[in-house]
């Protein structure tokens, strides 16, 4: 019997009509559908696929054992997540070895700061793995502002708000255009870094890009609490004819 394939399928930033034709075909045809979620939550990738799954689809939720309960710097964080990804890999591998294909639903693009890549590295060489690219959350975000993100030879920096404040300020000072993700509890620190770089008047916060609750706010007007799905943007102002 030939092995099944594990497909990491990018579903785009949130709107169900921003999937590729290939992603749409795979999701609608899948018998086994896996996805990550926080315990007690539906999971954003599963939400995007709502109404698309086969009536007989078998769902395989993979629930993170920790999200923000243990700091990322704590060695227990890595150990705990590593064991979790190993266990998820085993579940998918068992299905592939039984000849079953599995679709893993991924928000945005699977290879862009996504959890799927932790499965991909563990599955490589053990089972066939295929990846379907998706529109990233940041593309949804800059399109929501109605302005291009980069012109001419603008340099675009993508940073995580989890970086130290000095490092963020340095990166913001050195770039033309900017995307900052994973903001959450780091908004106050990020705001200080943007201000230290002298760019607070240019910064926008986009929450829930391409989702029904989408909101675009100048950073100056943003409140201290941001949802998980939030991106800070500074548009490039580069060379143009």
Ligand X SMILES: C[S@@+](CC[C@H](N)C(=O)[O-])C[C@H]1O[C@@H](n2cnc3c(N)ncnc32)[C@H](O)[C@@H]1O
Does 229 contact ligand X by CB under 6 A? Answer: yes
* Interaction pattern, residues 156-195, with ligand X; x per rule: CB under 6 A: -------------------------xxx------------
Exposed, middle or buried, 10 (CB in 10 Å: 0-12/13-18/19+)? buried
Q: Return the number of the residue (13 or 236) whose C-beta is nearest ligand X.
A: 13
Count, residues in the chain:
241
Residue 151: alpha-carbon gap to chain centroid:
24
The single residue among 230, 234, 235, 236 that binds ligand X, judged by CB under 6 A, is: 230
* Interaction pattern, residues 112-151, with ligand X; x per rule: CB under 6 A: xxx---------------------xx--xx----------
Q: How far is the CB of 147 from ligand X (least distance, A)?
A: 16
Q: Are 24 and 52 in contact (CB under 8 A)?
A: yes
Q: Are 118 and 34 in contact (CB under 8 A)?
A: no
Does 14 contact ligand X by CB under 6 A? Answer: yes
Contacts of 191 (CB under 8 A, 6+ apart): 200, 219, 222
Does 107 contact ligand X by CB under 6 A? Answer: yes
Strand partners, 177: 156
Angle, alpha carbons 27-30-33 (nearest 5°): 85
Does 203 contact ligand X by CB under 6 A? Answer: no
Q: Return the number of the residue (95 or 178) whose C-beta is nearest ligand X.
A: 178
Contacts of 42 (CB under 8 A, 6+ apart): none
**Which residues are at the interface with ligand X (CB under 6 A)?**
13-14, 107-109, 112-114, 136-137, 140-141, 181-183, 206, 208-211, 228-231
């Amino acid at each position: 019997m030939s092995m099944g394939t594990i497909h990491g399928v990018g579903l785009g930033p949130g709107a169900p009509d921003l999937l590729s034709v290939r992603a749409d075909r795979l999701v609608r045809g899948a018998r086994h559908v896996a996805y990550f979620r926080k315990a007690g939550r539906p999971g954003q990738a599963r939400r995007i696929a709502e109404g698309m799954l086969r009536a007989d689809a078998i769902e395989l939720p993979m629930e993170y054992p920790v999200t923000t309960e243990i700091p990322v710097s704590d060695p227990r964080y890595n150990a705990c997540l590593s064991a979790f990804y190993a266990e998820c890999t085993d579940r998918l591998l068992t299905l592939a070895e039984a000849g079953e294909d599995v679709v893993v639903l991924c928000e945005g693009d699977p290879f862009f700061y996504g959890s799927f890549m932790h499965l991909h590295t563990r599955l490589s060489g053990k089972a066939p793995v295929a990846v379907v690219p998706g529109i990233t959350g940041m593309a949804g975000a800059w399109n929501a502002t109605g302005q291009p993100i980069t012109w001419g030879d603008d340099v675009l920096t993508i940073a995580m708000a989890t970086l130290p404040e000095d490092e963020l300020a340095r990166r913001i000072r050195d770039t033309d255009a900017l995307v900052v993700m994973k903001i959450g509890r780091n908004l106050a620190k990020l705001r200080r870094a943007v201000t230290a770089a002298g760019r607070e008047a240019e910064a926008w916060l986009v929450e829930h890009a391409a989702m029904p609750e989408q909101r675009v706010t100048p950073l100056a007007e943003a409140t201290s609490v941001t949802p998980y799905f939030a991106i800070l943007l500074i548009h490039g102002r580069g060379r143009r004819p």
